[in-house]
Amino acid sequence: MKFKIETWKNNPKLRLVSRRVEKMELRKFALLWEEMVKYIKDPENNWVWLAAPQIWIDKRVISVSLLKTYDDKNYKTVYMINPEIIDFSIEAEIDNEWCLSVPKKFWDVARSKDIKIRYMDWKWKEITLLLSWISARIVQHEVDHLNWILFIDKIVEDEEETKNHVF
């Protein structure tokens, strides 16, 4: 399936808090979630994450590849239903980010180095993961989409800003 990725200039859903998925909706969205995972695994797309609001779906669902390094070829791709960051490190790391919804823009963003995330899988099983570095950054970026936040809202102009950045 080819998704039409909506950009921040023409997608009002990117600026809305997404609605929670209810257990009774699982079947309704099963194919979509499968297609989201296929989309980000497709080498032609060259992306490792996708949030439902980016494809006009107003639900708290993300598909992410959990990478160990930027060139990791043995990553695990998961989709997370109703993901919640339940804990995070105060220590931040600045790194370059980009987004399908803000095409051709790259900026430095400060993110927590480590996070603990809780979510439901497609079988409605609760999962809790501890994530670090790239995987933590990817998940924070996608969860932000579910909360109407884009990475351009978090641009860090210099490292001094990070010291004053409250997580």
166: pLDDT strictly greater than 60: no
CATH number at residue 54: 3.90.45.10
Sequence ranges of the binding site for Fe cation: 99, 141, 145
Round to whole Å and give the CA distance between 56 and 26. Answer: 18
Answer whether residue 6 is part of any domain. Answer: no
Q: Which domain holds residue 16?
A: 12-163
What pLDDT was estimated at residue 37? 75
d(CA 97, CA 94): 9
pLDDT of residue 81: 95
Has residue 62 been placed in a domain?
Answer: yes
2 domain-assigned: no
Q: What is the model's pLDDT at position 167?
A: 45
Which tokens sit at 12? 């009002």
pLDDT reported for residue 7: 65
Q: What is the pLDDT of residues 50-65, one digit of tens each?
A: 888 888 888 999 988 8
Question: Is 90 exceeded by the pLDDT of residue 79?
Answer: no
In a domain, 1, yes or no: no
For residue 116, being part of any structural domain is answered with yes
The binding site consists of 99, 141, 145
Catalytic residues: 142
Q: Tell me whether residue 4 is in a domain.
A: no
CA distances from 92 to 112, 139, 149 (A): 4, 15, 18
pLDDT of 125 higher than 90: yes
* Within-domain flag for 3: no
5 inside domain = no
Distance CA 115, CA 135 (A): 9
Average pLDDT, the chain: 82
Average pLDDT over residues 94-108: 84
Report how many domains make up the chain.
Answer: 1
